[in-house]
Amino acid sequence: MKKKKRKVPKNPCKFNIEDRKNHAKKWLMKNRPKDLLGAYAKKYGVSQSTAQWELEELGFRDEIAIQLYEKDGIEWEYKYDGYTGEMYVVPKGTEDWELNEFY
């Protein structure tokens, strides 16, 4: 007896949220566009804010921050947070005590 195949919509705009995230993971691992937010929003037919939210959930927070800083012409750097031990992308010249304002 043959298994019934799950129908996958040909148009990526027709995906529900979970299927869209799974499809986006595969798509972004194959090729990463220069304008991550714009490409995601266009491919899946969502707004820029929704695209940013979903890409942050998928783990692309640093890439989005870097692209937004470069778009605005702001120099950025990685900053080490001594309290949590994490690295953050922040504008160049940010003081250590200001890290909590970004994340």
pLDDT digits (tens, 9 = 90+) for 27-55: 999 988 989 999 999 998 899 999 999 99
63 and 25 co-located in one domain = yes
Together in a domain, 78 and 61: no
Residues 20 and 66 in one domain: yes
If asked whether residues 62 and 84 sit together in one domain, one would say no
**Domain match, 32 and 44 both:** yes
Q: Look up the pTM and report it.
A: 0.75
CA distance 46 to 90: 27
Query: Which residues is 80 bridged to in the sheet?
Result: 87
Catalogue the long-range contacts made by 56-60 (C-beta closer than 8 Å, 24 or more residues apart). 57/21, 58/21, 58/24, 58/25, 58/28, 60/28, 60/36
If one compares 94 and 76, the residue with the highest pLDDT of the two is 76
* Residue 98 lies in domain: 73-103
Is pLDDT above 80 for 96?
Answer: no
Residue 94 maps to a domain: yes
Write down the pLDDT at residue 1: 62
Mean pLDDT of the chain: 84
Q: What are phi and psi of 24, to 5 degrees?
A: -65, -40
Pairing of strands 87-91, 76-80: antiparallel
